[in-house]
């Protein structure tokens, strides 16, 4: 998958891994961290127009810092813009035009926004990604010319940012990905000799980073995807070169790493990219048997406890747990997308509504989603799990036009998301769950231009504010923040 040439990793493959890491972050997000108390004046923005409503929030969103001054963007890479938190700061990746894409930190002010470490010195990029907080440090993948892509960690300081282990010595890349927490260990996938895939475990130290076993030989073509922890195991989909891409599980040991079951017998692929959801310690996922029909399956990590719920499931990451019930997009006919729910039993699996949902998120005891029905385009909806309790929250782009809400994330008692409306483009919206309380936060790029990128990802809630990537039209895509009041 990765090919080293003069110390550089082929960029296309790096971007694939960065895309997967962001998806994992979406699936596993929810940490809000310790409250941050920035000091000093906030950065002036280019003048986004706030849209207050009643006793709504006070200050408008603001540009934290124009890291790459002018119209150029520090976060224009489609896979840049990851956020994490450590020691009262938000960590993220950005490119200032001098140092390449590197690790940065902010306290929410321009003065408190700085480059943490130039891991790949000069204009080359270390491409830090796969952020995972572990105790007082942040584990991540990064690359430099001497070591290739390897495992790094930081305590948020320049002196405290260093290579954990050169897994593939020299300029070859270990390319650790799929970071999954299991007890006090972190499981990672590592690139082995001849592009094989290996399971490793780490505790964030060189001595505690070790090989477990090979999981995919070089001749196999694995389908990459998130690793999901459930019931004391980590589940993943991998091609072992014998039975195709199937469901595997590990307890972090060589002996405890095994094929769960061959869902599509023989060399065919039973499981594609593993977009899983967890309910009562069991994994729910999409799989395809020999008849070619994708259905929702559940697994407790044993062959006997892995079976289909016999509901067609499109296989996209649209499953979310709310109030101990799993909600997902499925259909009784191939190609249909409707809102379904299950308690894990065949009898408890039923259709909730005919709306076609995506971007599901659990919030305040209700499920919110981007969904469409015959009268409306894709808009924000909410459900309490009943047909009569499934309602349109607000028709942001009236009629059959789409506002296409995306990137839902929570902050205190509000739900934020990106949405499109013709006179303002794609901008930041918020809701308290009611029609009246659903409003445009600010027209960051005044007029029909979009302040949020078309591929807007989940923002980051930390302390008393949210952080996200935006452009006001004068500066490029840069880190922004908003402190609701």
Does the residue 151 lie in any domain?
no
For residues 317-333, give the mean pLDDT. Answer: 82
First to last CA, the chain: 47
Backbone φ and ψ for 13, nearest 5 degrees, come out as -70, -35
pLDDT value of position 84: 96
Tell me which residue range forms the domain holding 429.
Answer: 355-484
Does the residue 115 lie in any domain?
no
Which span out of 34-43, 45-54, 410-419 was modeled with the highest average pLDDT? 410-419
> pLDDT tens digits, residue range 417-429?
999 999 999 999 9
**Tell me, what DSSP letter sits at residue 230?**
E
CATH code for the domain of 457: 2.40.128
Does the residue 136 lie in any domain?
no
Question: Residue 331, class by beta-carbon neighbours within 10 Å (0-12 exposed, 13-18 middle, 19+ buried)?
Answer: middle
pLDDT value of position 289: 79
Three-state SS for 1? coil
**Tell me, what DSSP letter sits at residue 325?**
E
Strands 414-421 and 425-431: antiparallel
pLDDT value of position 449: 94
Contacts of 330 (CB under 8 A, 6+ apart): 296, 311, 312, 313, 314, 336, 337, 338, 340
The H or E element that residue 89 is part of is strand 89-95
Does the residue 461 lie in any domain?
yes
C-beta atoms surrounding 281 within 10 Å: 12
Rg, Å, the chain Cα set: 23
The count of structural domains within the chain is 1
pLDDT above 70 (res 54):
no
For residues 281-296, give the mean pLDDT. Answer: 85
What tokens does 127 get? 């491409």
**Cβ 36 vs Cβ 89: under 8 Å:** yes
Task: Report the residue count for the chain.
Answer: 485
Does the residue 165 lie in any domain?
no
The answer to which of 178-192, 312-326, 362-376 has the lowest mean pLDDT is 312-326
> pLDDT tens digits, residue range 174-232?
999 999 999 999 999 999 988 899 999 999 999 999 999 999 997 676 666 789 999 99
């Amino acid at each position: 998958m990765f090919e080293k040439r003069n110390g550089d990793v082929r960029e296309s493959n790096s971007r694939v891994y960065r895309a997967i890491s962001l998806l994992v972050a979406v699936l596993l997000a929810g940490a809000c961290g310790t409250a941050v108390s920035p000091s000093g004046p906030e950065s002036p923005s280019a003048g986004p127009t706030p849209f207050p409503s009643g006793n709504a929030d006070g200050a408008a969103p603001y540009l934290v810092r124009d890291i790459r001054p002018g119209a150029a963007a520090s976060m224009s890479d489609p896979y840049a813009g990851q956020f994490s938190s450590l020691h009262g700061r938000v960590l993220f990746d950005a490119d200032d035009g001098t140092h390449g894409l590197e690790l940065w930190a902010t306290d929410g002010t321009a003065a408190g926004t700085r480059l943490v470490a130039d891991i790949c010195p000069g204009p080359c990029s270390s491409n830090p990604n796969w952020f995972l907080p572990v105790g007082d440090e942040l584990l991540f993948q990064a690359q430099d010319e001497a070591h290739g892509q390897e495992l790094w960690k930081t305590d948020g300081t320049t002196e405290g940012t260093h290579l954990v282990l050169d897994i593939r010595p020299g300029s070859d890349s270990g390319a650790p990905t799929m970071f999954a927490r299991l007890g006090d260990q972190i499981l990672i996938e590592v690139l082995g000799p001849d592009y094989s895939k290996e399971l490793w475990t780490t505790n964030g130290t060189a001595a505690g980073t070790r090989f477990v076993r090979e999981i995919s030989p070089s001749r196999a073509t694995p389908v990459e995807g998130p690793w999901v922890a459930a019931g004391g195991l980590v589940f993943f989909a991998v091609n072992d070169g014998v039975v195709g891409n199937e469901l595997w599980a590990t307890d972090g040991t060589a002996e405890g790493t095994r094929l769960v079951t061959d869902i599509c017998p023989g060399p065919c692929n039973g499981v594609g990219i593993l977009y899983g959801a967890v309910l009562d310690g069991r994994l729910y996922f999409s799989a395809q048997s020999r008849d070619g029909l994708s259905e929702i399956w559940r697994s407790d990590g044993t062959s006997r406890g892995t079976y289909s719920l016999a509901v067609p499931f499109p296989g996209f990451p649209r499953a979310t747990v709310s109030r101990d019930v799993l909600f997902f997009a499925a259909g009784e006919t191939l190609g249909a997308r409707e809102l379904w729910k299950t308690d894990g039993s065949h009898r408890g699996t039923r259709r909730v509504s005919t709306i076609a949902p995506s971007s599901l998120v659990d919030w305040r005891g209700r499920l919110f989603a981007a969904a469409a029905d015959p009268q409306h385009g894709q808009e924000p909806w909410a459900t309490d799990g009943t047909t009569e309790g499934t309602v349109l929250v607000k028709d942001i782009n009236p009629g059959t036009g789409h506002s296409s809400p995306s990137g839902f994330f929570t902050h205190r008692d509000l739900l934020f998301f990106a949405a499109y409306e013709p006179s303002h483009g794609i901008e930041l919206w918020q809701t308290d769950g009611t029609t009246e309380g659903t409003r445009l936060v600010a027209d960051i790029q005044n007029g029909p231009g979009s302040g949020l990128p078309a591929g807007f990802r989940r923002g980051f809630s930390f302390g008393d504010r949210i952080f996200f990537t935006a452009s006001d039209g004068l500066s490029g895509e840069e880190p922004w923040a908003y402190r609701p009041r």
